[in-house]
Amino acid sequence: MNMQIPESLRDEKRDKKLKDFASQKAYEAAANHVAAEVQAAPTTAKRLEGALARIDTLESRPSRAEVTLLPPAAPKPEQKQVNGLRLFGAAVLAEMKRRDVKGGIDVIDEVIGKAFPGDRHERARRAAKSMTSIGNTTSPGNAAELASNASRSIYLAMQQSSVFASLLQYASVLDFEGNGSLTFPARSGTGDLEPSWIEESASLPVKQGLVEAATANRFKMGVITVVSEELIRSAAVSNLLDLIERFIRDDFSRGMDRHAFDPSINGVAGVRPPSIMHGAPTSVSAGSTFENKLADLGALRKAMVGARRPVLMMNTDNRIGLDMTVTADGYPHFRGMLAEGNLYGIPVLHSPYFSTDEVHALDADAVLIGRDPMTVDTSDTATLVMLNSDGVDPTMTSTWGDEAVDVEGSVRVSDAATVVGGPADVKSMMQHYSVAMRAVAPVGWVNMVDAKRHVLTGVAW
């Protein structure tokens, strides 16, 4: 802050004395500092000389240092791949055990831990637990994406026992995601969009390709079975798990293969779709000799001319029959191709539940299949009418037969006493110390326009 001193107060002699005094004090302070440094210089020089000597000594002799390295972190064990069907079975078994002992999450953890022990099954345990009512798929840390993928991979685990499950690799497959239907655009087979050569300045032709919609409606297949609680309590977890897994795999494989490919099954609105092969052209097998089988395969291949993704579908016994067929000189002509899973480049899908006297050819690219995850629920308090749908009275049935059940053919608890051929047995799960297990598979399919299909009948390969 600068202050202006009035002229009347200025004293030039006094100001000069003050300046001289300040300069003298500054000079004395600087001189004293330099004198101190000069006085300390010998001591500083000696200390510097000693430090340099110690550095030279350290540099001239080897030094030893001990270094301890921490061990690297142990990698997490590689997780074993477990098929979705076994995961699903473990979740169902855990639910049955929990209901039996009226337990909670500790029972779930115990059962799933026995089904999938060890560090390499950590992922499988999380997925199975997330399928139970305790560890629902929306809870944090309960592996919702694992449960969803495992549910859908049930069909993948059924491929060795189901042609339908194997067909999912080749067909157009979409999830319903709770919707009542799926609509898929497809070319109608008519129209012409082939480009033409165009001269400079010439006009381009206008052509039209027709597109139609193929709609797969959502239907459901389902069944209920009953297991005694004594069996649940006494049997080992591994044995029960195998039993549940076989129930889902074998019985659903049988049902899926029959309803999806039996040419005689037509569609019923709101009940079921027509089989994929319903209305397909047919021809009769030429016979069982090597030459006859070549002729049959030639006819099937001819029916698939122009197909984008042809497949052959047959019973496992017929596949084995082809494998054992030899030429006149004893050469197993088909064996090498079948070992690769095909015949003349066409994939062969087979199962023990496919029709034994038919072989089908199908352009899988022209089939749209919709599905949702299969669900299995259990109850120890339900009351059931103990009737199946085999058509033998008393039975649940429908106007169309084929083990379908409609509203009119259903039998409720109140109808059990008066059902045709009855009375039907009514069973309380609680009273009979049993657990009911219900399995439901939402599924539907539709053929695209002009799908190439062929059914070979009278097969005895």
Q: What pLDDT, on a 0 to 100 scale, did the predictor assign at position 139?
A: 44
Task: Please state the rounded mean pLDDT for residues 88-103.
Answer: 72
3-state SS assignment for residue 278? coil
Q: Report how far residue 54's alpha carbon sits from residue 324's, in angstroms, rounded to the nearest whole number.
A: 92
Residue 338 has pLDDT above 90, yes or no: yes
Structure tokens at 122: 């950590």
Residue 143 has pLDDT above 70, yes or no: no
3-state SS assignment for residue 198? coil
Q: What angle do CA 284, 318, 455 make, to 5 degrees?
A: 35
Whose CA is closest to 374, among 437, 440, 445?
440
Structure tokens at 361: 């050819």
Q: Could you tell me which residues come within 8 angstroms of residue 444 by beta carbon, excluding any fewer than 6 positions away?
A: 176, 181, 182, 216, 217, 218, 219, 273, 369, 370, 371
Q: Report how far residue 228's alpha carbon sits from residue 234's, in angstroms, rounded to the nearest whole number.
A: 10
Q: Report how far residue 163's alpha carbon sits from residue 364's, in angstroms, rounded to the nearest whole number.
A: 12
Q: Report how far residue 126's alpha carbon sits from residue 132's, in angstroms, rounded to the nearest whole number.
A: 10
Task: Please state the rounded mean pLDDT for residues 73-80.
Answer: 71
Q: For the residues of 318-383, what is the DSSP string, one character each? A: HHHHHHH---TTS--TTHHHHHTTEETTEEEEEETTS-TTEEEEEEGGGEEEEE---EEEEESS-E
Whose CA is closest to 223, among 443, 436, 399, 421?
436
What is the pTM (predicted TM-score) of this model? 0.71
Q: With helix as H, strand as E and coil as C, how does 132-152 read?
A: CCCCCCCCCCCCHHHHHHHHH
Task: Please state the rounded mean pLDDT for residues 338-360.
Answer: 95
* Amino acid symbol at 192: D
Task: Please state the rounded mean pLDDT for residues 256-278.
Answer: 91
Average predicted confidence (pLDDT) for the chain: 81
Q: Which residue has the higher pLDDT, 355 or 52?
A: 355
pLDDT band (50, 70, 90) for residue 146: very low
- Return phi, psi of residue 168, to 5°: -60, -20
> 456 has which bridge partners?
283, 359
CA-only gyration radius of the chain, Å: 42
Q: Report how far residue 277's alpha carbon sits from residue 361's, in angstroms, rounded to the nearest whole number.
A: 9
Residue for token digits 């497949």? 311
Q: Which residue has the higher pLDDT, 62 or 92?
A: 92
Task: Please state the rounded mean pLDDT for residues 196-222.
Answer: 83
> Is the CB of residue 363 less than 8 Å from the CB of residue 460?
no
> 283 has which bridge partners?
456
Structure tokens at 190: 């008519």
Q: Report how far residue 305's alpha carbon sits from residue 454's, in angstroms, rounded to the nearest whole number.
A: 11
Provide, rounded to the nearest whole percent, the portion of the chain with pLDDT above 90: 27
Q: Report how far residue 84's alpha carbon sits from residue 205's, in angstroms, rounded to the nearest whole number.
A: 53
Task: Please state the rounded mean pLDDT for residues 404-410.
Answer: 81
Residue 210 has pLDDT above 90, yes or no: no
Q: Report how far residue 115's alpha carbon sits from residue 93's, in angstroms, rounded to the nearest whole number.
A: 10
Structure tokens at 383: 């009351």
Residue 343 has pLDDT above 90, yes or no: yes
> Is the CB of residue 216 less than 8 Å from the CB of residue 369?
yes
Compute the CA torsion angle 191, 192, 193, 195 (nearest 10 deg): -170
Strand spans (E) along 146-287:
172-175, 181-191, 209-217, 219-228, 282-284
Tens of pLDDT, residue by residue over 419-453, are 888 888 999 988 988 888 888 888 999 988 778 99
> 183 has which bridge partners?
215
Whose CA is closest to 267, among 279, 256, 255, 249?
279
Q: Which residue has the higher pLDDT, 176 or 91?
A: 176
CB-neighbour burial class of residue 84 (10 A; exposed 0-12, middle 13-18, buried 19+) = buried
Tens of pLDDT, residue by residue over 230-265, are 877 777 777 777 777 787 788 888 889 999 999 999
Task: Please state the rounded mean pLDDT for residues 297-312.
Answer: 93
Residue 212 has pLDDT above 80, yes or no: no
Residue 336 has pLDDT above 50, yes or no: yes
* Residue 216: CB atoms within 10 Å: 23
Q: What pLDDT, on a 0 to 100 scale, did the predictor assign at position 455?
A: 97
> Is the CB of residue 358 less than 8 Å from the CB of residue 313?
no
Q: Which residue has the higher pLDDT, 56 or 394?
A: 394
Q: Report how far residue 151's alpha carbon sits from residue 166's, in angstroms, rounded to the nearest whole number.
A: 16
